[in-house]
Chains A and B, each alone.
Chain A
Amino acid sequence: MPRGVESFVIAKHAADAARILAREGGRAALLAGGSALALHVPGGVQTIVDIMRCGLEGVKADGKRLRIGATTVAGTLAAAIELDAFGAVPLREAAAAISAQAVRNQVTLGGNLVGTLSWSDMPVALLAIGGQVRTVRASGAKRTLSVAELLAAHPRKVLARDEIITEIELKKPRGKVGGAFVKMARTVSDLALATSAVVLRVEGGLCRDVRIAVGSVQPRPARALKAEKALDGAPGDEGLFAHAAELAADAATVHADLRASKEHRRVLLVAAVKRALRLAFARASGNETYAPIRRPAPPPWRRELPPGEPGHLLRVTIDGTPRVLAIQPADNLLEVLRRNGFTSVKRGCADGYCGTCAIQVDGRLLNSCLLLAAQVDGCELKTVQSLGTVFNPHPLQTAFVETGAVQCGFCTPGFIIASDALLSQIPDPTDAELRAALDGNLCRCTGYVKQLEAVKLAAARLRSRA
């Protein structure tokens, strides 16, 4: 609970937020998603400006152009079939590759771009796809720059202090393109060690308009121009892909980190580029169909502003009961919930990697430890206690009991609330869909077998009841 933060502003328009940034300079921090701020508010910040309710969320296709609002989250993008026609399959795959479901439901495209870290997935995909970034400043001035321009240096340096990304626009590609994003990591949910995104066309069996981006091995993603050139007009040949991958790796400045040596990251990068090329080529030439599993798209973030100034009183409905809780502007939501007696929300790691604190905010699965309390002002929060009681349990709770899915029970509330969020979107998930949607709920007791069985059982019962 950093002491320096005095106010929390929920902006109605991006330009309003930009004006606060202009006025406050380094004393204000922009919240676009909020996971980074919930874990750490930079020193000197007195005001947090939340742009989640500025109407910047959503994916809109109008014939030739696809517009993605800056606060559209990865979870939405991973599920957005509209992207496919715009050659943006790599962006869907990159969005799906991010950490875990609750995190995907929070990480915004704009936030991921501006706050780009070496392992950020979506900027790599966007760089390969190519697109236009629209911004607004305090003066109301708007500008458009390419994704490449935005990522030419760190975006925080490219953008003016008061400049806010409002949307990303993709143009419909000429002809049929194939695209792919490949991530190499220690586990499925881990931060990437090497990534590559590829977009290309196939004309008469030859590669055209090849765009290759590589990521995670250096501070920012980069295009592999030499590799692209080498493949222009080339056939879809394994040897040529391997050669191009080597060129891409040669051009990258590969860094080591604690998870892998420089040498190994290069190996992974070569493999990632090669596989992304292979996959993109197969898709472009129609030899492979992109057929992703269904992923739950989170409901939209609430637009209505709570009355008065947020940040000191939290006006929420928790498990169906309206509450007014006293908070400080930078209080963490998990801490606020626990200290007010909502103890089914557990503290397992407090940095967004275990899912024991998962709740639903207006139906969207989120980790409460990655939220500032003020962010959810006016929202409806749902914990596992909203679902049922020992006297009248919910089918998910009953199924968890019957299948032996509850061992120590510490992860169970988060697991069940995540399952409920999934089933509300996808009532008949397959095994693969279950595993993908529940990937953020760690459990050390069960091996997950019985939990997955429980959710399937509950899903079947809920369907037959409906």
Chain B
Amino acid sequence: MTDDKRSFAVVGHSLAKVDALALACGAPLFTDDVETRGALCGAILYSPHAHARIKRIDASRAETMPGVRVVLHHGNVPRVLHTTAGQGFPEPSPYDTALFDTKVRFVGDRVAAVAADTPEQAAAALAAIEVEYEPLAAVLDFTQADAPGAPVIHDEPDAHVPIPVPYEPQRNIAAKIDARAGDVAGALGRAHLRVAGEYFTQYAQHCPMEPHICVTYFDPEGRLVIRTSTQVPFHVRRIVAQVCGLPVRKVRVIKPRIGGGFGAKQEVFLEQVCAMLTVRTGWPVKTELSRAEEFISSRTRHPSRVRVEAGFDEKGRVQGIEMRVRTNTGAYGAHALTVASNCGSKVLPLYPTPDVAFIADSVYTNLPVAGAYRGYGATQAAFAMECVMDEAAHKLGLDPVELRLKNHIQPGGSSPVFRMLGEGTEGVEQTVESCGLARCLELGAKAFAWGTRDTRRPRQGSVKRGFGMAAGMQGSSIPHIDMGAASLKLNEDGSFNLLIGATDLGTGSDTVLAQIAAEVLGVPLDKMIVYSSDTDLTPFDVGAYASSTTYLSGSAVEKTARDVARQLREVAAAMLEAPAEQIRLEKERAIAPNGESVSLADIANRTLYAHDQHQIGAINSHITQKSPPPFAAHFVEVDVDTETGIVQCLRYVIAIDCGTAINPKLAEGQCEGAVLNAISYALTEEYLFDANGRMRNPSFRDYKIFSTADLPELTTILVPTYEPTGPFGAKSVSEIGINGALPAINNAIFDAVGVRLHEAPFTPERVLAALGERR
């Protein structure tokens, strides 16, 4: 079904994002833009120690200070172990986190929280809380976290996993996976060529422009309302209810516009603190993170060590792959298992082989907490895999593009990895139906002029030009686990209210989902009034993660719209005296085979006011059976300054198969954002720690993310395919773009100067060190 270009009226068109104009006009749409009268200021006291026991905490002085309404700490809040991962229930992450604990496990761990009338009073109260710590030896090197005699970070007896998965906190092991198919050792032993490489990735932060923020208050009936910048409003409701001891029915979560998330806002760690401050005081409370808190105490990308060994026959065909992964989950285990398993499940199936092994673990350390971050393990593992592929191409004398073409998964193909690796459970067997990777490689190479790259190596003294590429895949939703739902009702002017649980965090999913509904109903986009993510008003959805919204929630919207379309046809059939199944919905009209038609407004007026009065509407939901991978090819051109070690990214082409792009411009925007984030991550972004585990660069001054001044020439090519299981042929697009820059740039550096780096980011110092080792 590759290259299937179907024509649609609304889908496949780059229509303006439904919320864009209001945002461009600066309308008050974000959590902090609406004042909650009388709101107290919530503030959090953080641990200065990487690992310590709290021997004594005395808040009595703070509690009596002016304006201070409450001080919370482990001594006055019930201990409810939970996970902040913000996943479906029961979560595949350990319950190892309390609102406040008797122990602190990283610099930035929560010790206490305060609500006061003003930020200054809250800050003064935090400073007045007396805490006596007993410092403990800390685990700061994740490669040594499970060494005999290492300090045990989660020595509390009640930490546990809510589903039956391996968990060995006494050895600092938060998750463990061992999945094998066939005979890898045998396959590698027989291979013509074996290539192995070990690659390290670093701590990084999502850096949404809007830091985490949350407002909580009781409504007049005494229900707790949470207005919060989240990707997972329904999980927030459940987790806050769990931690605060409230029935779910007493909690309402409202998601306004979100200033970016990228996975950071899947994590539910702030809402329960803010909620508890409201529960204890009865007052509205606003708690917002500063940029420094965002770096130190929110969530990060799992640092990793990924070792890949792959075998190849004489012709360059893959003969067995073994991948060994260790990730550093930091002080708590949110997403430890699933990010680790995604290292395998979103990378290994790209090059199917019957002989494949994936051995991974995720360890606790006394460092910042890792969590979901766009790419979700695939970023880390693709770095190793695609560098190994590049090295293999080099050793086999093959063009790197050709090596991918020889080996990548084909339509109708499968991989044992799909079955081996799930999200805390076994995986789901699947065959790939749509795959445009060959075309991505072809079109990307063409746009990049890959074939003639050797003619473009200017001699500029110490500066060497290099060209590199990488391929990749992701998934679309978590099959058999994720669920999304939508409801739709007709208004008397022929417009519709589309209510979706899905969470638009700036990605444009409100628009994409409305386009799907409008396409089914034969109306223009502006007839869709979209409202998303309010646990009182919209149906359930797991939220915005796992590249699921377009594919999963989009299918729920499509189903719902088809249900409404059927109802419209039935009424129109009576009005037009024609068989319902022969009526077309087009241009806001229901049209009979003889050309006679009624408008949707006519249908609405009839059903609301005149005959057989009823509300036309539907609610429906969807759960996926598959997680069809989108595919991408990345090409990059760099200059490596051999004198300073500075790597400059000059040009980047990404060609991507996301099935049908429901809104091509928004799909391009997803790619461009992901690619630039990835380049910035590959070249500069990293947490710098002191010897005691304290992050030294928690600001945009010292943690640099790319600006317009650093932007390379960036080209996105959408390569249409048609995914038969997705809404109008769509697959996911949001995450995949972030996985290519690490390997592609490293491969380009190798192409330029003949050295391969094994640790990201590729800072000038690391480049010079690598060059020095070669000399």
Tell me the A residues contacting B by CB distance below 8 Å: 1, 3, 100, 184, 186-191, 258-261, 264, 267-268, 271, 338, 341, 343-344, 346-351, 353-354, 356, 383-385, 387-390, 393, 396-398, 400-404, 406-413, 416, 434-436, 438-452
Q: Which residue of B lies closest to A100 (CB)?
A: B707
Taking the complex as formed, is B699 at the interface, i.e. its CB lies under 8 A from any CB of chain A?
A: yes
Measured CB to CB, the nearest residue on chain B to A259 is: B702
Query: What are the residues of chain A within 8 A of B257 when measuring CB–CB?
Result: 408-409
Contact string against A for B residues 1-30, beta-carbon threshold 8 Å, 1 for contact and 0 otherwise? 000000000000010110111111111111
Closest to A339 in B: B35
Complex contacts, A406 vs chain B, CB 8 Å: 17, 19-20, 23-24
A400 neighbours in B (Cβ, 8 Å):
20, 24
Contact partner of B16 (CB less than 8 A), chosen from A3, A351, A388, A401, is A401
Closest Cβ neighbor of B35 among chain A residues: A341
B709 touches A436 (CB 8 A): yes
| Known A344-B25, A393-B25; 8 more pairs at CB < 8 Å | A1-B120, A189-B709, A260-B764, A271-B643, A404-B16, A408-B258, A436-B708, A449-B672
User: Please, how many angstroms separate the alpha-carbon atoms of A271 and B673 in the complex?
Assistant: 33
Asked whether B764 lies within 8 Å of A346 as measured between CB atoms, the reply is no
The answer on a CB contact under 8 Å between B24 and A264 is: no
CB-based nearest A residue for B118: A1
- Please state if A271 and B20 are interface contacts (CB–CB under 8 Å): no
Residues of chain A contacted by B207 (CB below 8 angstroms): 442, 444
Query: What is the bound-complex CA distance between A258 and B689, given in angstroms?
Result: 9
0/1 interface trace, chain B 676-720, chain A, CB 8 Å (1 if under): 110000001000100000001101111011111111001010000
CA distance A387 to B25 in the complex (A): 8
Given A384-B26, A385-B25: A410 touches B714 (CB 8 Å cut-off): no
B699 pairs with A408, CB closer than 8 A: no
User: Quick one: given A351-B291, A406-B20, are A258 and B696 in contact (CB under 8 Å)?
Assistant: yes
Task: Kindly list chain B residues whose C-beta atoms are within 8 Å of the C-beta of A397.
Answer: 21, 24-25
Is B653 engaged at the interface, CB distance under 8 Å to the other chain?
no
In the assembled complex, the CB of B119 is this many whole angstroms from the nearest CB of chain A, namely: 8
Do most interface residues of chain B lie in helix, strand or loop, or is the interface mixed?
loop
In the complex the two chains form, is A413's CB within 8 Å of B258's CB? no
| Residue contact B16 to A448, C-beta cutoff 8 Å | no
| Nearest CB in chain B: distance from A105 CB, A | 16
Q: Please, which residues of chain A bring their CB within 8 A of the CB of B262?
A: 444
B433 contacts A by Cβ under 8 Å: no
Smallest CB gap from A348: residue in B: B209
Asked if B156 is at the interface (CB within 8 A of a chain A CB), the reply is no
Q: Is the CB–CB distance between A446 and B672 below 8 Å?
A: yes
Taken together as a complex, chains A and B put the C-alpha atoms of A411 and B30 apart, in Å, by 12
With contact pairs A390-B21, A397-B25, A409-B20 given, residues A258 and B704 touching in the complex (Cβ less than 8 Å): no
**Once the chains bind, are B291 and A191 in contact (CB under 8 Å)?**
no
**What residues of B have a CB within 8 angstroms of the CB of A350 in the complex?**
290-291
**Chain B residues whose C-beta falls within 8 Å of the C-beta of A439 in the assembled complex:** 707-709
The residues of A that contact B282 with a CB separation of less than 8 Å are: none
Q: Which of B23, B207, B257, B684 has the most CB of A within 10 A?
A: B23
Indicate if B506 sits at the interface (CB-CB under 8 A).
Answer: yes
B32 and A343 contacting across the interface, CB-CB below 8 Å: yes
Does B260 reach chain A (CB closer than 8 Å)? yes
Q: Are A408 and B505 in contact (CB under 8 A)?
A: yes
Whether B206 sits at the interface, judged by CB under 8 Å, is yes
In whole angstroms, what is the CA distance A446 to B646 when docked? Answer: 25
A409 touches B33 (CB 8 A): no
Which residues of A sit under 8 angstroms from B108, Cβ to Cβ? none
**A contact face: mostly helix, strand, loop, or mixed:** loop
Q: Which of B134-142, B245-253, B346-354, B662-670 sits within the interface? A: B662-670
Give 8 A-B contacts (CB < 8 Å), ordered by A residue: A268-B644, A401-B20, A406-B23, A409-B257, A410-B260, A445-B209, A449-B672, A451-B708
Contact call B768/A264, Cβ cutoff below 8 A: yes
A411 to B258, CA, bound (A): 11
Q: Which 10 A-B pairs have the closest CB atoms?
A: A408-B506, A344-B26, A409-B23, A447-B672, A410-B259, A353-B700, A188-B709, A447-B676, A404-B665, A406-B20
| Contact yes or no, A407 B24, CB < 8 A | no
Contact of A409 among B506, B704, B709 (CB under 8 A): B506
| Nearest-Cβ distance from residue A335 to partner chain B, whole angstroms | 9
Pair B677/A186 contact, Cβ less than 8 Å: no
Q: Establish whether residues A444 and B208, one from each chain, have CB atoms under 8 Å apart when the complex forms.
A: yes
Q: How far is the CA of A264 from the CA of B641 in the complex (A)?
A: 14
Shortest CB-to-CB span from A433 to chain B, Å, is 11
> A412 CA to B22 CA in the complex, in Å?
10
A347 to B291, CA, bound (A): 9
Given A271-B644, A447-B676, verify A407-B704 contact (CB < 8 Å).
Answer: no
A393 vs B27: C-alpha distance when bound (angstroms): 12
- Rounded to whole angstroms, the CA-CA distance of A281 and B258 in the bound complex is 52
Are B673 and A410 touching (Cβ within 8 A)? no
Tell me if A442 and B209 are in contact (CB < 8 A).
Answer: yes
Q: Mark B645-658, 1 if CB is under 8 A from A, else 0.
A: 11000000000000
- Is B327 in contact with chain A by the CB < 8 A criterion? no
Contact partner, B701, options A191, A346, A383, A389, Cβ 8 Å: A191
List residues of chain A with CB within 8 A of the CB of B672: 446-450
Partner of A448, one of B20, B27, B711: B711
Q: Is the CB of B673 within 8 A of A444?
A: yes
CA separation between A403 and B675, bound complex, in Å? 18
CB-based contact B210/A408 at 8 Å: yes
B493 within 8 A of A: no
Contacting pair B668 A404 (CB below 8 A): yes
A190 to B685: give the CA distance in the assembly, Å.
Answer: 12
The residue in B20, B207, B260, B643 that gathers the most chain A C-beta atoms within 10 A of its C-beta is B20
In the complex the two chains form, is A445's CB within 8 Å of B24's CB? no
Interface residue from A188, A408, A416 paired with B209 (Cβ < 8 Å) = A408
Write out the residue numbers on chain B whose beta carbons fall within 8 Å of the beta carbon of A383.
Answer: 26
> Given contacts A187-B706, A188-B710, A393-B21, are A258 and B673 in contact (CB under 8 A)?
no
Question: Chain B residues near A260 (CB, 8 Å)?
Answer: 764-765
**B contact residues around A445 at 8 Å (CB):** 209, 260, 506-507, 669, 673
Contact between B506 and A407, CB atoms less than 8 A apart: yes
Nearest Cβ in chain A — how far from B86, in angstroms?
18
Task: Please state if B16 and A402 are interface contacts (CB–CB under 8 Å).
Answer: yes
Please, which residues of chain A bring their CB within 8 A of the CB of B260? 407-408, 410, 444-445
B211 beta carbon closer than 8 Å to chain A: yes
With beta carbons under 8 angstroms apart, the residue of A258, A348, A409, A447 that contacts B211 is A348
Does the CB pair B645–A267 fall under 8 Å?
yes
- Choose among B32, B209, B674, B684 the residue that contacts A443 (Cβ–Cβ < 8 A): B209
Bound CA–CA A264/B704 (angstroms): 18
Given A268-B644, A351-B701, A403-B665, is A390 in contact with B707 using a C-beta cutoff of 8 Å?
no
How distant is B697 from chain A, measured CB to nearest CB, in Å?
6
B740 sits at the interface (CB 8 A): no
Q: A1-B120, A187-B684, A187-B710 are in contact. Are A351 and B699 (CB under 8 A)?
A: yes
Q: CB of B508 within 8 A of chain A?
A: yes
Contacts of B210 in A (CB 8 A): 346, 348, 408, 410
Q: Which residues of B contact A398 (CB under 8 A)?
A: 21, 24
Chain A residues, Cβ within 8 Å of B675: 447
Q: Which residues of B contact A413 (CB under 8 A)?
A: 24, 26
Q: How far is the CA of A187 from the CA of B697 in the complex (A)?
A: 15
CA distance A442 to B205 in the complex (A): 15
Contacting residues, chain A, for B697 (C-beta < 8 A)? 258-259
A356 neighbours in B (Cβ, 8 Å): 209
Q: How many angstroms between the C-alpha atoms of A389 and B207 in the bound complex?
A: 29
**A452: B residues at CB distance < 8 A:** 708
Interface string of B199-216 (1 = CB under 8 A from A): 000000011111100000
How far, in Å, is A281 (CB) from chain B's closest CB?
A: 15
Question: Which of A413, A439, A444 has the most C-beta atoms of chain B within 10 angstroms of its own C-beta?
Answer: A444
Q: Return the chain B residue nearest A413 by Cβ.
A: B26
- Decide: A404 near B699, CB < 8 A? Known: A348-B209, A439-B707: no
Q: How far is the CA of A396 from the CA of B259 in the complex (A)?
A: 20
How far is it, in angstroms, between the C-alpha of A410 and the C-alpha of B20 when the chains are bound? 11
Instruction: Establish whether residues B24 and A412, one from each chain, have CB atoms under 8 Å apart when the complex forms.
Output: yes
From A411, which residue of chain B is reached at the shortest CB distance?
Answer: B209
